[in-house]
Amino acid sequence: MAESISALKNGEVEIEYKKSSQIKEIWRRLKRNRTAVVGLFIISFIAIIALLAPVISPYNPYEQNLNQRLLGIGARGHILGTDEYGRDLLSRLIYGARLSLIVGFCSVAFGLVFGVLLGLLSGYYKRLDGIIMRIIDILLAFPGVLLALAIVSILGTGIVNVIIAVGIWSIPTIARVVRGTVLYIKEMDYVTAAKALGESDFMILFREILPNCISSIVVYSTMRLATAILSAATLSFLGLGAQPPVAEWGAMASTGRNFIFQAPHLTLLPGFAIILIVYGFNSLGDGLRDALDPNLKNV
Amino acid sequence: MSTSNEVLLEVKDLKKYFPVKKGFISKKVNYVKAVDGVSFTLRKGETLGLVGESGCGKSTTGRTILRLIEPTDGIINFDGENIVSLNKKELRKKRKDMQIIFQDPYSSLNPRLTAGEIIGRAIDVNNLAKGKERERRINELLDIVGLGARFYNRYPNEFSGGQRQRIGIARALACNPKLIVCDEPISALDVSIQAQIINLLQDIQDEFQLTYLFIAHNLAVVKHISDNIAVMYLGKIVEMADKNELFENPHHPYTKALLSAILSPNPKDKKERIKLEGDVPSPMNIPKGCRFYNRCPNKSKICSEVEPELKDMGGGHLTACHNI
């Protein structure tokens, strides 16, 4: 780049504008948003814990020690106490972070693949819009977690099926969000210009429209991660997701419920972990929404 | 401006009706007749100014000619080929010969691409250049529109409205078009910038032998840049003539009213201002007879019965009025 400038300007000194990376700009704006930073901090904290689980967890999360059952917080050797089988609660919480993140990311990724594609098609092609949106209306008509519940009942219990169920449940709303953005973007003059230049429908969809939908997709999927983790935990709580002895926050809260009077921390701490991760993703999503708008500079 | 006699664009009886749908099964209940039988010819190197009030179908005409909007009916002969009869693939190959410049410089550039990438994409789509040649061409185009190669890596939000419009022009120029439809390219700009853009458009027209269809509602600007001017009213051309002829000797009462609305820089200049009564009829419900009947100051009986045809009043001055 620098060569061609000097060649063109015959040695004349020109101020060179470097391609300021848009990611850098987004990061700069995100840093100024306090809630987003808090959210990002929480998420990174949990992610690091999940990543380093085998290194940092004091005990094997599945190791039972029936001599030390239902220890309270602050017990010797078990900072957060133990559960009904004498398993270390802190270790179980650390391993549970792994599962929550995996379930969240996988199910949202699953929903994104289909949701974005459906949204793009129904937003761009008027003919497909009616059919796709009616199917989505049907999926949306099922109240909340009930759809995921129904899917899990059909597929059977287990963590993979929870991922699929929560993923399918995410498709309609993701498709709606993408469709709305596409409807707005496709009326932009630069899309008309692309058409006038001879770009094909495929090129217009994936090179002009999709990149401009990314910000709403990123924001929505961040928020959706929170919902996905929450509903996966709900399914586990209801006994349809992770099966014992797997360390999963929802399942831990569920089994802890039986001992809520003797050892309330067995229910409260996994619940608190869920709240923390959901809050983290939600506030990060909020901050991203502000930071990702390319037309808001220096705000 | 060098105008040859070779016809580049010939539009015959162009129509665009937008269906109005209602109800659950999307029954077509009516049509908005945005363009209702427009015909004109454009010679190579010529500029035709298309004027008219908002909603009269100027922009729709421009975009229909490029088939950015599919025409309902009519013939568009461009460079010896009927654009309307081309299939999708043939049309895409033809597209590079006819480009468009937009009114709104803010929505006409993809905010995710740099200026260089925007122009580069125009080159890539039509396989016009590769590698170093491509870079050279992009820098050359940036230079032509007066921006310079140092703006290559900047994003649209780092430019002003006038600079954005220049990028839009560079993009249109990138594939060496023959015709450029200028869809109110200056209406959204400051007055001082308007002059710069107009001059730029005239410079590149001379340099690259471009033919313009210049859509605008500012008559003074249109007079400055055009060779011929067509006045549109409710989807039809009501008068078309050489620009000087049209300004000095307007025939149609609507043209007269439009011209009387131009402000004079001389405050002592007391012109007779023709004020039109009433509103434009809805393009969904066009009245029988002359479209201008309800607002016309000198109507006669025949006007409400028969729609006037566009007739040559001598010297290529076309007018659609019964009472000339």
CA distances from A217 to A28, A109, A169, A211 (A): 20, 11, 16, 10
Chain B residue numbers with beta carbons less than 8 Å from the beta carbon of A8 are 139, 143, 149
Name the residue among B11, B20, B14, B12 with its Cα closest to residue B285: B20
Name the residue among B17, B20, B31 with its Cα closest to residue B60: B17
Contact flag B150-A14 (C-beta cutoff 8 Å): yes
Extents of the domains making up chain B: 7-319
Query: Closest-CA residue in chain B for A9?
Result: B149
Question: For residue B15, which phi and psi values (nearest 5 degrees)?
Answer: -130, 140
Domain of A94: which CATH number? 1.10.3720.10
pLDDT tier at A241 (50, 70, 90 boundaries)? confident
Residue type, B245: E
Q: With a CB-CB cutoff of 8 Å, which residues 277-296 of chain A face chain B?
A: 294-295
What domain range includes position A165? Answer: 25-58+81-291
Find the angle CA(A126)-CA(A127)-CA(A128) to the nearest 5 degrees.
95
In this prediction the ipTM stands at 0.88
Contact flag A197-B104 (C-beta cutoff 8 Å): no
pLDDT tens for each residue of A246-283:
888 988 988 888 888 988 989 999 999 999 999 999 99
Confidence at residue A296, expressed as pLDDT on a 0 to 100 scale: 58
Contact flag B112-A294 (C-beta cutoff 8 Å): yes
pLDDT tier at A4 (50, 70, 90 boundaries)? very low
Question: For residue B211, which phi and psi values (nearest 5 degrees)?
Answer: -110, 130
Contact flag B125-A199 (C-beta cutoff 8 Å): yes
Rounded to an integer, the average pLDDT of A218-238 is 90
Confidence at residue B25, expressed as pLDDT on a 0 to 100 scale: 72
* Ordered DSSP codes for B20-60: EEETTTTEEEEEEEEEEEEEEEEETT-EEEEE--TTSSHHH
Question: For residue B72, which phi and psi values (nearest 5 degrees)?
Answer: -75, -40
Please report whether residue A17 resides in a domain: no
pTM: 0.84
Instruction: For chains A and B, count residue pairs whose Cβ atoms are closer than 8 Å.
Output: 99
Distance CA B16, CA A263 (A): 75
pLDDT tens for each residue of A135-159:
999 988 888 788 888 888 899 888 8
pLDDT tens for each residue of A160-219:
999 999 999 999 999 999 999 999 999 999 999 999 999 999 999 999 999 999 888 999
Please report whether residue A43 resides in a domain: yes
pLDDT tier at A1 (50, 70, 90 boundaries)? very low
Q: With a CB-CB cutoff of 8 Å, which residues 52-91 of chain A face chain B?
A: none
Residue type, B255: T
Chain A residue numbers with beta carbons less than 8 Å from the beta carbon of B185 are none
pLDDT tier at A9 (50, 70, 90 boundaries)? very low
B126 touches chain A (CB under 8 A): yes
Query: Closest-CA residue in chain B for A203?
Result: B125
Confidence at residue B4, expressed as pLDDT on a 0 to 100 scale: 60
Report residue A98 CA to chain centroid gap: 14
Confidence at residue A158, expressed as pLDDT on a 0 to 100 scale: 86
Chain A residue numbers with beta carbons less than 8 Å from the beta carbon of B93 are 198
pLDDT over 90, % of chain A: 46
Residues of chain B short of pLDDT 70, as ranges, are: 1-4
Please report whether residue A249 resides in a domain: yes
| Beta-sheet strand order (sheet of B81-82) | B27-43, B7-22, B73-78, B81-82
Query: By the 8 A CB rule, do B180 and B99 touch?
Result: yes
Question: Which comes out higher in pLDDT, residue B100 or A240?
Answer: B100
Confidence at residue B30, expressed as pLDDT on a 0 to 100 scale: 87
Question: For residue B281, which phi and psi values (nearest 5 degrees)?
Answer: -65, 155
Number of domain units in chain A: 1
Question: Which comes out higher in pLDDT, residue B211 or A30?
Answer: B211
Confidence at residue A18, expressed as pLDDT on a 0 to 100 scale: 55
Which H or E element spans position A279? helix A265-291
Among A197, A204, A205, A213, the strongest candidate for a mutation testing the B interface, having the largest count of B CBs within 10 A, is A197
* pLDDT above 70 (res A3): no
Please report whether residue A67 resides in a domain: no
pLDDT tens for each residue of B181-205:
999 998 888 888 999 999 999 999 9
3-state secondary structure of B276: coil
Confidence at residue B26, expressed as pLDDT on a 0 to 100 scale: 73
Please report whether residue A74 resides in a domain: no
User: How distant is the Cα of A32 from the closest Cα of chain B, in angstroms?
Assistant: 20
Please name the fold of domain B7-319: Rossmann fold (3.40.50)
* pLDDT above 90 (res A74): no
Query: By the 8 A CB rule, do A123 and A181 touch?
Result: yes
Confidence at residue A299, expressed as pLDDT on a 0 to 100 scale: 40
Please report whether residue A44 resides in a domain: yes
pLDDT tier at A120 (50, 70, 90 boundaries)? very high
